[in-house]
Structure 1
């Protein structure tokens, strides 16, 4: 989940009994984000030999009439400059995300099919599906335990997809009780083997909203990883629905 791949946050009041797994994941999904958010993502791709490639991305997101929209535009290096990705999600409507990618060399916007959601995004360890806005109703959630991560008490929630064709067989998420922000997540492949791990190393409050600043996705089977650092964050800067269109994808940010 980044600003995109980012986990959402929403404070949950203390109660005598622990909330259910579904209640926890719904709280994470329903977090306050402000009307819109913008910033710069620095993406670092690390191969199995430790060689790094760095990419810079401008990202904007916003909520408009029951829809959450996100646009990412690559700024550098030159071979990916102008490439853009857009995601529309339909909160609480039981409808899957719509996704598009624009490749300057082809000079056209392409819709990403459901079959393509498992492909890696621009050579990273994130799939297109990972960059979407997964709704709690898509999984069966179980609170399995409580543990401490980096000094923070966490709920541990196992989520099993209801759709047997889903990319993963299950995920396990550690969610801070104090911030209700996911601190890490394990992804298991269809054989039930650990495939990837997502770790959050920096979270900051911006205008009263928890924003994840540093994220790492590691492919435990290929031994590759992708780091994301979110900077120059602005909340409620006046973005409008018209900023999230196919035309906007081709114009850049």
Structure 2
């Protein structure tokens, strides 16, 4: 059984429809990338899953219909959302942000171990452990957002435009850590990313959206072999 399934999902903001009946599935321990131009519905797809936008259709997580549950309840079920724009808590320190990520947990010893793991995953954060998040660079804030989401010990991470606004070298460092996180923990991921090269380095399956509809989907190696995908997203 898939960990996540979207079945004919629509989503709208006010009177404006953004998703028009999309369907996709994600296997346990799998990673799927969502590609598309600006306005295609990528971010809205993640918001639909985490319950921050009005939807119709069915969204199943581990077999349970979570449509309309809202962000607090979906988070408690094991879905961590790293939104576009990072969403760190600017007046809290790096360590405090990490501990806020674990606020629903009670396994204090393991929390301390996971903080150490995050600091090993992102050594830059170790150097800034007492700094307010507002004082971090954009790349450091993105690293902190990913680490804080991991501290919730989710089964699924929704990662939205992690490279946005970052220098290419910084974006590569972030995605190297994301690849390591997947490899070492088996965390399932749904990755929205404009930089298809970075997305393809993490995911095994890709879904392409155009104006709120699924137009292409398949294994990463299959899509990399498609001329239309290479031209649109890989510069080839």
TM normalised by structure 2 equals 0.32
Name whichever structure is richer in helix by fraction. 2
Name whichever structure is richer in strand by fraction. 1
